[in-house]
Amino acid sequence: MIPISEALEIIRRETFSLDAETIDLENSVGRVLAENIEADMDLPPFDRSQMDGFAVKTADTSKLPASLKIIGESVAGKGFDRKMKTGEAVRIMTGARLPDGADAVQKVELTKEKNGFVEILEAVKTAQNINRQASEITKGAQVFSQGEIINEQMIAALASFGYAKLKVFRQPKIAILSTGSEIVEIGEAPQKDQIRNSNSMMLKIFAKNAGAEAEILPQVHDDFETLKQKIAAAVGLDSGLKNSEIRNPKSKILIITGGVSVGDYDFTKPALRELGAEIFFEKVSLKPGKPTVFARLNDVLIFGLPGNPVSVAVTFFLFVRPAILQMQSAKNCKPKKGYAVCSDKIKGAKERDSFLPVSLSTNEKGSLMIESLRFSGSSNFIAFAHADALVFVPQGKNLAKNDVAEILFL
């Protein structure tokens, strides 16, 4: 049994990174930037009015009421191109360019218009109601850097600097293989002794959200020969396989769920061994997730995760997600860490570190509180549906009410 930190180090060491490709901005959310993003223009590109009103010279409003001659207008998309002189004003709309010679805008509510003149009812200060050129960003400045994961909030910035297409790192391809003679497809009605396959779809979604392209393989029964065949096919060892999509196994991860413990029908490890896989570890000091396996076969990284859906979720999050992000050269591959206060006691495990799913809430004192989920065991994925984070309980310890605990945000 190895500590979690060592398992992570091994995964980091064995994981390769992929090259870059160019994609449309529209499809970029969740992908990892393979280039630095620069502002190709000042923003705002000119001194810009924040209000509908009149562009004026501050000095002209020192004596009130000031009556100024309206000499034209500046609208968004078409500014006023002559220079404004003393005693003049230009009607201006929100977002329009400030005319030369003007140094402030008075909003329309504080003006009165009559016979081609405008009366300014309140004095203005220099730069009032103006966004200065380049006050948001200067041309050439770096906006985002290589390795950042693109999120929805970044799209407007990328669009405004002309990144209709952009360079991102290629997506790892992930194949998901669930094992278990008791497992039937989601659309099927389980018969006696059967349950539905909840792992494959969950993993597909997790993998996609981590930036991978995920594919669910047909699930396999607990049969040694079949499992061996299916693993061989999934890693591209079976050349006779017609529907093999493994053209570039280097971009691949295979996740197998179930069959990694020591039961009579747990064939994942024996199958991997017989196929000649290099097994890097097969037991981690982690609850849930002790029998997690990490191996490589034909250049495909293989994660064997324990079958319980909650164990699958926890081990995916701790081990597989960082590998997926590393393959895409993401800057932050590790889960986001934080601290929160226990609302109640949380029991750890004697011989293993625990990462237990919990929900989070805030209280009126502004503290982030940990609410434990009522687990009846690591198979309780109904409780897991409400999880926001994993709480860390060190080996041999328990957490007491009001203890501050380390959490990983899901």
Which DSSP state fits 179? B
406 binds ligand AMP (CB under 6 A): no
Residue number, 35 or 182, with CB nearest to ligand AMP: 182
* Contacted by 367, from ligand AMP, Mg ion, none: CB < 5 to 8 Å by type: none
The Cα–Cα gap between 379 and 376 comes to 8
Q: Does 315 bind ligand AMP (CB under 6 A)?
A: no
The amino acid that residue 354 corresponds to is S
| Bridge partners for 67 per DSSP | 119
Burial 179-201 (b: 16+ CB within 10 A, else e): bbebbeeeeeeeeeeeebbbbbb
Please, which residue, 17 or 181, has the CB nearer to ligand AMP? 181
User: Smallest gap, in angstroms, from Cβ of residue 153 to ligand AMP?
Assistant: 35
- Asked if 128 touches ligand AMP (CB under 6 A), the answer is no
Find the shortest distance in angstroms from Cβ 33 to ligand AMP: 34
- The interface mask with ligand AMP, positions 181-210, x = CB under 6 A, is -xx-----------x-xxx-----------
Does position 106 bind ligand AMP by CB under 6 A?
no
Contact call for residue 403 and ligand AMP (CB under 6 A): no
Q: How many angstroms separate the CA atoms of 134 and 73, rounded? A: 23
Q: Is 231 in the site for ligand AMP (CB under 6 A)?
A: no
Nearest to 34 by CA among 171, 167, 211, 143: 167
Minimum CB distance to ligand AMP smaller for 294 or for 392: 294
The contact pattern for ligand AMP, residues 280-309, with x = CB under 6 A and - = no contact, is: --------------------------xxxx
Interface residue with ligand AMP among 236, 259, 288, 322 (CB under 6 A) is 259
* Helix, strand, coil tally for the chain in percent (to 5): 20, 35, 45
Beta bridge partners, 32, equal 149
Which residues contact ligand AMP by CB under 6 A? 178, 180, 182-183, 195, 197-199, 257-261, 263, 306-309, 379
